[in-house]
Amino acid sequence: MICDNLSVKNGHLYFAGRDTTELAARYGTPLYLMDEERLRRNCRVYREAMGRSFASALPLYASKALACRRVYEIIAEEGLGADVVSAGELYLARSAAFPMDKVFFHGNSKTDEEISFAMDCGVGYFIIDNADELAAVERIAAEKGIRQKALLRLTPGIDPHTFAAVSTGQVDSKFGVPIETGQALTFVRQALELPHIHLRGIHAHVGSQVFTSQVFYDTADIMLRFMAELRDKLGYTAEILNLGGGYGVRYTQSDPVVDIAGEIGKVAEHVKAGCAALGLPEPMVLMEPGRSIVADAGLTLYTVQSTKTIPGYRSYVSVDGGMTDNPRYALYHASYTIEPAGRMDDERDFVCTVGGRCCESGDMIQEDVALPRLQRGDLLAVLTTGAYNHSMASNYNTVARPPIVMLSGGRDYVAVRRETFADLAAREL
């Protein structure tokens, strides 16, 4: 099993110590299950390792991975901050009584309305993406008579696909302001001149599903060198360095297991050494893990509706969900592990494509999966779906989105209920 919260008993898949077939029978499918203990454990790994390793640090949960009120509550209880990317996420976080001073507002295209709303919520920090946003935040902060704490988002020039530092050429990204072109220096200078902006530091995010710390070493090197340049050229010492998103997770057996605590320790050593070499005081370090907080705390259950074999081609298994609750295969050809939740001990001699229910050929969950010869009514479990599934779900084909049921210490409870027909029609006039 790819994660230790999974096990098999009497041919049934157990998740967080619970029989998934019983939960499917009780709540119906498609169904998102979340293992609360695992979620909390993932939070603690970051909080404890960062607290132990850096002079000062805070992990921020990147809530785009899974934004719901219960998750914000748990994240707050575990002492993490949160990264939000829209007024909607901010609204949900606030409705969960998330401490606003620990919320960091991201996004490359914040509207005046969102900026104003975030300030009215008392959001801790804006992570300002560009010069237009900087001007808007200054203007709106002035109108409200406040001085807004902020970080500036910079692009360190590391290719997010290869994670290799790009030494030449244009830094091509819609996010942030590039260091390499000299624009970042101007951006910082402008921010320092604005009376209603309290610039506390800088931010960079290189990529997601990161398995090696090399990308964090490279990011830290470039950012620390830039901090030294800011000190030398502008007399400004950044107090906060935000290194962006967290480590990768295991979707399949072939994905590596990351010792996150150990890796964070190494990143901290690297940052310390870099600061010492450049004569910089150690900044407060932030990271923004999303996927590695929630992914393996989640699993999706489906019921098979049909199987179909096209001789000489392939076999299709269609389930009662699909790209509406998990668009990641359709979008990225993402890998997943699929288990026959009620037939775990059966021989897996049926190679098939697991497809969704939507009217779109690309609506698949996975291809070439070895499963038992399935029948209508069998259950399938797709593992590691806690991140970027519910948060990317849609109502395509006017399909209702599944509920999120939390599992905690032998207890199960609904955190987000299943959408109803009334919900689907709620915006109609």
Give yes or no for residue 106 binding ligand LLP (CB under 6 A).
yes
Residue 210: CB minimum distance to ligand LLP, A:
7
Written as six digits, the tokens of 422 are: 């009334």
Residue 349: CB minimum distance to ligand LLP, A:
31
> Pairing relation of β-strands 148-155 and 177-178?
parallel
Is 68 among the catalytic positions?
no
* Cis check: omega of the bond before 178, within 30 degrees of 0: no
Q: Of 114-122, 154-162, 242-250, 258-266, which part binds ligand LLP (CB under 6 A)?
A: 242-250
Give yes or no for residue 298 binding ligand LLP (CB under 6 A).
no
Number of residues that bind ligand LLP (CB under 6 A): 16
Q: Considering the candidates 3, 68, 121, 359, report the single residue annotated as catalytic.
A: 359
CB atoms near residue 317 (< 10 Å): 25
State the residue for tokens 């049934």: 12
Residue 230: CB minimum distance to ligand LLP, A:
21
Instruction: Pick between residue 208 and residue 303 the one whose CB is nearest to ligand LLP.
Output: 208
Residue 347: CB minimum distance to ligand LLP, A:
33
Residue type, 162: T
The answer to whether 299 and 382 have CB atoms below 8 angstroms apart is yes
DSSP 151-206: EEEEE--B-TTT--B--SS----SSSEESTTSHHHHHHHHHHH-TTEEEEEEE---
Give yes or no for residue 244 binding ligand LLP (CB under 6 A).
yes
Cβ-proximal residues to 11 (8 Å cutoff; 6+ apart), any chain: 342, 343, 344, 345, 346
* Binder of ligand LLP out of 201, 245, 274, 298 (CB under 6 A): 245
Give yes or no for residue 283 binding ligand LLP (CB under 6 A).
no
Distance between alpha carbon 352 and the CA centroid of its chain, in Å? 30
Give yes or no for residue 138 binding ligand LLP (CB under 6 A).
no
The answer to whether 355 and 362 have CB atoms below 8 angstroms apart is no
Give yes or no for residue 388 binding ligand LLP (CB under 6 A).
yes
Give yes or no for residue 76 binding ligand LLP (CB under 6 A).
no
Instruction: Pick between residue 246 and residue 322 the one whose CB is nearest to ligand LLP.
Output: 246
- Interface residue list for ligand LLP (CB under 6 A): 62, 65, 83, 106, 205, 208, 244-246, 288-292, 328, 388
Q: What are the residue numbers of the active site?
A: 359
